[in-house]
Amino acid sequence: MSEPTAQGGRRIPIVVDCDTGIDDSLALLYAVASSECELVAVTCTAGNVEARQVAENTRAVLELAGRSDVEVALGRETPLARALVTTPETHGPRGIGYAELPPASSPLSPRFGPDLIVEEARRRPGELTLVTLAPLTNVALAVLREPELPRLLRRVVIMGGSYRSPGNTAPTTEWNVACDPEAARVVFEAFAGAGSDGRRIRPIALGLDVTERAKILPEHLARLAAMAGCEPNGSTLGGSTPDGSTSGRSTSGGVNPIVRYLADALRFYMEFHSRYDGFYGAFIHDPLALATALDPTLVRTEPLAVEVELDGRLTTGETVTDWRRTWGRPPNVDVAVEADSVRFMARFVERIGVLAAGRAASR
Ligand code: BDR
Ligand code: CA
């Protein structure tokens, strides 16, 4: 398997906007585990849980991964025009399933999330990659503040939308877009005209069409745990719980904190998918988007004109896509139509397995 290299030997600077969220947390771990990634900062928006809980989860997960130095900024706490609806049934009441993490000790950034995005893009024009794993509220505010943002960024990767597949929130809508459709429209419109002046980039959008190919199953977790030298519940060898459960600590031996976190967060997520999607496993949408930002060869894209529906009776939040070019408009989005999920899953298991092994060794 060929591994991606950083641009010219330099690491890829990335700002992540997220609503942590179980799969967001896995994306953060993937970023930390990827040597070619320079995780510049993380901005938090309301979505799976309220924005302040997102900021807490984000810092706690980064601390778990040994990266309390990464700047984490709070963004807007409500969608642009609608009331916030969170997803406790999908991600648990606090957004991390059954997992429990120590309270975050690192301070929140004094910067407002959308300002951070603009400032970092201006500080290194043409270099920064923005990865969005959440409703597009913060990014919309950033674009409204700095309309040049599509020219200042090197790459934008969006987890959001449902282009040729059914939705997961309403029949035709995906959660990140449906949660704040007005923000999604602002962002997708900001990239109209991309390519015409050779400087404005088109975002790569990963919708459910491809992210539902990235499925984590118990066997992946078992392989990852084996790489870290422990049981799938995180107990280090010789230290399993008396009933084999993943709750509580082991009676002897130690616990690998990252594998324990994964086991407890993913057990909730897998139970959810077992109820709603018919398999015991979980779609890991956000890590595939993060991995694509580091290595775009993981997906094949088509340049397409996309607009977000705001006035539908049944379809508000739908990413309406002009597959047959009937509008005659230039494309504004590179829509992912295929993903190499086998290569991605192998990379995910290996990288996070190595991260978990290293964290156990360093404790
Ligand atoms: C998206 O919605 C959220 O629940 C996930 O974290 C992901 O970003 C998938 O529709
Ligand atoms: Ca998310």
> In angstroms, what is the span from residue 243 Cα to ligand 2's centroid?
33
| Burial group, residue 195, by CB count within 10 angstroms (0-12, 13-18, 19+) | middle
Q: What is the share, in percent, of the chain residues with pLDDT greater than 90?
A: 88
Is the Cβ–Cβ distance between 156 and 136 less than 8 Å?
no
pLDDT per position as a tens digit, 98-120: 999 999 999 999 999 999 999 99
Q: Does ligand 1 have an atom closer than 6 angstroms to the CB of 285?
A: yes
* Residue that is written with structure tokens 């991995």 in the block: 291
pLDDT per position as a tens digit, 260-309: 999 999 999 999 999 999 999 999 999 999 999 999 999 999 999 999 99
Who contacts 311 (Cβ-Cβ below 8 Å, separation ≥6)?
none
Question: Which of 156, 103, 111, 110 is CA-nearest to residue 133?
Answer: 156
Predicted TM-score (pTM) of this structure: 0.94
pLDDT per position as a tens digit, 242-259: 444 444 333 346 899 999
> In angstroms, what is the span from residue 286 Cα to ligand 1's centroid?
7
CA gap 339, 181 in Å, rounded: 25
Fold of the domain built from segment(s) 11-217+266-362: Inosine-uridine Nucleoside N-ribohydrolase; Chain A (3.90.245)
Query: How far, rounded to the nearest angstrom, does the alpha carbon of residue 204 sit from its chain's CA centroid?
Result: 14
Task: State the greatest distance between any 2 C-alpha atoms of the chain, in Å, as a whole number.
Answer: 66
Q: Is 220 a residue of the active site?
A: no
Mutation test of ligand 1: which of 176, 210, 269 has the most ligand atoms closer than 8 Å to its C-beta? 176
Domain ranges of the chain: 11-217+266-362
pLDDT band at 196 (very low <50, low <70, confident <90, very high): low
| Burial group, residue 248, by CB count within 10 angstroms (0-12, 13-18, 19+) | exposed
> In angstroms, what is the span from residue 228 Cα to ligand 1's centroid?
27
CA gap 175, 22 in Å, rounded: 14
Write the residue with the smallest CA distance to atom 4 of ligand 1: 48
Closest ligand 1 atom to residue 23 Cα is: 6
pLDDT per position as a tens digit, 316-356: 999 999 999 999 999 999 999 999 999 999 999 999 999 99
